[in-house]
């Protein structure tokens, strides 16, 4: 089932939660809505589910306009951030209830319901817990029950609101891999909301990055990470160093840096900001080229195979973050307090007039 | 006074045995009053009142303005006037405009309306205490409003509302004594009738009080059992 979201807007009082949102989601796609809190991502998901009404715009499932159809008729599976399991029911009943309450003529027989529930519980690896109650389960298990419950009604669309937000890092990672596999097996059009960029990039086919009720960028994880189209996206997807300087005839001047920015060859003395990811900063011990700038290593910390460096530039006294592999770090034999030469390997320049950060 | 009463009992063995005899012989009519009137009056009024309370609570929560208004006025009027006055209006007042209701039905109407108003606030609070996500989860798996209410919300709300509803129930047991004033021959009226023949007011009213206490004592044991049952799988 494809989903078309057309010019959806929503305000809460004077606060504009969503402003003219358009997204087209293909059948079987797994899409992440990514953004900081207050960006409108959850509101959009709730509007798709029918739990919230849009002020304007329309939503189509396939060719059917479902804007004014109630939640119960939309055939969506919804997984809530805090699970919202029925606390007074066993795991089995939680999963079975969506089928049990169907009108008699579309309700499966008792035996069919039982088979279906156990099939789903096997899928979420909880068949041994059928008779437990939600409070007797861990967070990860509860979330899997919530998923099984959502899938039991054979939804055409699966919506997940920060599904792993309340879980610890290890469980979260396991579950998102598992969700990816589940999605690959079921091929059900799915949208999940997250504020965790790593999660979005790791799981989704496409990522929709939202900010202040608007869409900043839509693209594959690779596209949005490698080619952010705005400073916001740059900043939101991972760490970034800002080089505030002047742009003149295709070069960004900042401190002792003169960095090529060929796309701005006709710029005349403009204020601009260069964005550089920490892993795009090269570090050398000798001054090999004249565009390197000297800096002092202030702090080194090693996280697994990645080494994070905190550096202070000698020209502008600004701090920089750099990342390098452990191999390179070992080769260079870097020490705290040492003087090195840094330069950006790759940078993207934005002129602040065009964007507000 | 109290000392005199006791002294007289000790000094006069005949009087003591007379009191014991009265206590014994009055026990049967009092228990009859309790079993035939007090208990059924309480149970029936509480049941009708509870249905009324759920409807009133839903009306007050609903987004339909006229329903909210009607429910609001009902709760305000019942809570704002004395129960005894309400009973008198129903039993002694309504005949004036041609509506004559027997004592027992009058009492049931009065008590039900009362329970309905007080318990509706308890049920309203209990329903509102259930997270909105439970409604949404119910809708998202295809339930209708009434299915969600019956199968998801009320079962959970009942757990929250048992202690305050028990309060209402126990109050009702004792309030039924007011029915004596509209000629219902429940336990307290029986006590009055017997006492008016032998003038042993202290004895008979104390005896009635003890029976009320015993009934309420058992009710609170039942309350505990129900709470434990509903609490089985729910940690706080």
What pLDDT sits at residue A218?
94
Q: Looking at residue A357, what is its pLDDT?
A: 47
Domain with residue A208: its CATH number is 3.40.50.300
Mean pLDDT score, A61-80: 90
Tell me, yes or no, whether A285 and A314 share the same domain: yes
Question: Looking at the structure, do residues A163 and A250 belong to the same domain, yes or no?
Answer: no
80-119 in chain A: CB under 8 A from chain B:
80, 82, 84-88, 97-98, 101-102
- For A193-215, what is the mean pLDDT? 92
Place of tokens 């091929």: A187
Query: Which of A188, A205, A236 is the endpoint of a domain?
Result: A236
Look at strands A339-344 and A293-303 and give their pairing: antiparallel
Boundary-marking domain end, from A221, A236, A251: A236
Asked if A228 and A298 sit in the same domain, the reply is: no
Name the residue among B145, B150, B137 with its Cα closest to residue A153: B137
pLDDT of residue B236: 43
- A197 and A208 inside one domain: yes
Mutate to test the interface with A, among B134, B139, B141, B145 (most CBs of A within 10 A): B141
What local confidence, expressed as pLDDT, does residue A355 receive? 55
B232 versus A211: which is more confidently predicted? A211
Please judge whether B142 and A85 are an interchain contact, meaning their C-beta atoms are less than 8 angstroms apart: no
Let me know whether A232 and A256 are in one domain. Answer: no
- The total number of structural domains in chain A stands at 2
Same domain, A122 and A221: yes
Q: Do A84 and B134 touch (CB under 8 A)?
A: yes
Do A166 and A266 belong together in one domain? no
Q: What contacts B154, CB < 8 A, 6 or more positions away? A: B54, B127
Residue A123 touches partner B, C-beta closer than 8 Å: no
Region A34-63: mean pLDDT is: 92
Which structural domain, as residue segments, surrounds residue A345? 239-354
Contact between B151 and A101 using a beta-carbon 8 Å cutoff: yes
pLDDT tens digit string along B116-155?
Answer: 999 999 999 999 999 999 999 999 998 999 999 999 999 9
Who among B133, B144, B232 is closest to A84 (CB)?
B133
Please give the interface size between A and B, counted as residue pairs whose CB atoms are below 8 Å apart: 75
Q: Are residues A169 and A217 in the same domain?
A: yes
Long-range contacts of B153-159 (CB under 8 A, 24+ apart): B153/B127, B154/B54, B154/B127, B155/A88, B156/A86, B156/A87, B156/A88, B156/B130, B157/B123, B157/B126, B157/B127, B157/B129, B157/B130, B158/B126, B158/B230, B159/A88, B159/B227, B159/B230, B159/B231, B159/B234
pLDDT in tens, B174-218: 999 998 899 888 889 888 888 888 888 888 899 999 999 999 999
**ipTM > 0.85 for the complex:** no
Are A311 and A228 in the same domain? no
Contacts of B164 (CB under 8 A, 6+ apart): B122
Residues A214, A296, single domain; the answer is no
Same domain for A231 and A244?
no
pLDDT at B234 over 70: no
CB B50 within 8 A of CB B122: no
Chain B interface, best mutation among A101, A137, A138, A155, by max B CB count within 10 A: A101
- Please answer yes or no on whether B140 and A135 come within 8 Å at the CB atom: no
**Minimum CA–CA partner of B139 in chain A:** A72
pLDDT at site B135: 93
**Stretch A222-241: mean pLDDT:** 88
Give percent above pLDDT 90 in chain A: 39
B147 inside 8 A of chain A by CB: yes
Q: In chain B, what percentage of residues exceed pLDDT 70? A: 97
pTM (predicted TM-score): 0.80
Interface contact B137-A51, CB threshold 8 A: no
pLDDT of A178 strictly over 90: no
Q: Are residues A252 and A349 in the same domain?
A: yes
Q: What is the pLDDT of residue B68?
A: 94
The answer on pLDDT for B235 being more than 60 is no
Yes or no: say if A299 and A336 are a contact pair by the CB < 8 Å rule. yes
Name the residue with tokens 């004033």. Answer: B181
Check whether B13 has a pLDDT greater than 80: no
Closest CA to A48 of A20, A21, A25, A76: A76
Residue that is last in its domain, among A212, A236, A260 = A236
Q: Which of A72, A80, A87 sits opposite B144 (nearest CB)?
A: A72
Total length of chain A: 357
pLDDT band at B233 (very low <50, low <70, confident <90, very high): low
pLDDT in tens, A306-316: 999 999 988 88
Mutate to test the interface with B, among A69, A72, A116, A117 (most CBs of B within 10 A): A72
> Å from B184 to nearest chain A CA?
42
For residue A350, give the CATH number of its domain.
2.40.50.100
């Amino acid at each position: 089932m494809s989903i078309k979201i057309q010019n959806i807007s929503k305000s809460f009082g004077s606060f504009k939660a969503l402003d003219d949102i358009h997204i087209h989601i293909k059948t079987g796609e797994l899409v992440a809505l990514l953004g900081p809190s207050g960006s409108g991502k959850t509101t959009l998901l709730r509007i798709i589910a029918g739990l919230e009404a849009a002020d304007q715009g329309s939503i189509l499932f396939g060719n059917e306009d479902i804007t004014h159809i109630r939640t119960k008729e939309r055939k969506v599976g919804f997984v809530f951030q805090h699970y919202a399991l029925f606390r007074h029911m066993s795991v089995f009943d939680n999963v079975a209830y969506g089928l049990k309450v169907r009108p008699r003529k579309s309700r499966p027989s008792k035996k069919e319901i039982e088979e279906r529930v156990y099939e789903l519980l096997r899928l979420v690896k909880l068949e041994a817990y059928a008779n437990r109650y939600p409070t007797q389960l861990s967070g990860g298990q509860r979330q899997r029950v919530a998923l099984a419950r959502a899938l039991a009604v054979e939804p055409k669309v699966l919506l997940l609101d920060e599904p792993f937000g309340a879980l610890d890092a290890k469980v979260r990672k396991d579950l998102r891999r598992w969700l990816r596999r589940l999605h690959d097996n079921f091929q059900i059009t799915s949208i999940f909301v997250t504020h965790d960029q790593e999660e979005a990039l790791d799981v989704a086919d496409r990522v929709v990055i939202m900010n202040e009720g608007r869409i900043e960028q839509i693209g594959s994880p690779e596209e949005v990470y490698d080619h952010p189209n705005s400073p916001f996206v740059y900043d939101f997807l991972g760490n970034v160093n800002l080089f505030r300087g002047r742009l003149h005839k295709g070069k960004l001047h900042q401190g002792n840096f003169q960095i090529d920015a060929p796309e701005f060859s006709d710029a005349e003395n403009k204020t601009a900001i260069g964005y550089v990811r920490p892993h795009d900063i090269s570090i050398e011990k000798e001054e090999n080229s004249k565009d390197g700038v000297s800096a002092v290593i202030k702090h080194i910390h090693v996280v697994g195979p990645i080494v994070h460096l905190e550096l202070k530039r000698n020209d502008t006294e600004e701090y920089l973050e750099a990342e390098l592999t452990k191999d390179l770090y070992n080769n260079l034999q870097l020490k705290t307090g040492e003087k090195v030469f840094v330069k950006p390997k790759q940078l993207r320049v934005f002129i602040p007039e065009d964007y507000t950060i | 006074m109290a000392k005199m009463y006791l002294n007289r009992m000790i000094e006069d063995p005949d009087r003591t045995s007379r009191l014991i005899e009265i206590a014994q012989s009055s026990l049967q009519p009092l228990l009859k009053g309790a079993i035939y009137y007090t208990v059924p009056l309480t149970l029936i009024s509480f049941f009708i009142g509870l249905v009324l309370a759920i409807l009133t609570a839903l009306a007050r929560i609903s987004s339909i303005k006229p329903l909210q208004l009607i429910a609001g006025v009902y709760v305000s009027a019942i809570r704002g006037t004395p129960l005894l006055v309400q009973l008198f209006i129903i039993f002694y007042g309504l005949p004036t405009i041609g509506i004559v209701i027997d004592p027992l039905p009058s009492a049931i109407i009065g008590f039900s309306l009362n329970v309905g108003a007080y318990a509706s606030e308890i049920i309203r609070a209990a329903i509102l205490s259930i997270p909105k996500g439970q409604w949404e989860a119910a809708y998202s798996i295809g339930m209708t409003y009434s299915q969600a209410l019956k199968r998801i919300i009320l079962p959970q709300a009942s757990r929250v509302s048992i202690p305050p509803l028990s309060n209402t129930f126990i109050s009702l047991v004792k309030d039924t004594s007011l029915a004596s004033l509209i000629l219902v021959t429940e336990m307290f009226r029986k006590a009055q009738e017997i006492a008016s023949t032998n003038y042993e007011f202290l004895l008979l009213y104390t005896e009635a009080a003890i029976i009320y206490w015993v009934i309420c004592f058992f009710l609170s044991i039942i309350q505990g059992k129900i709470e434990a049952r509903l609490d089985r799988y729910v940690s706080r």
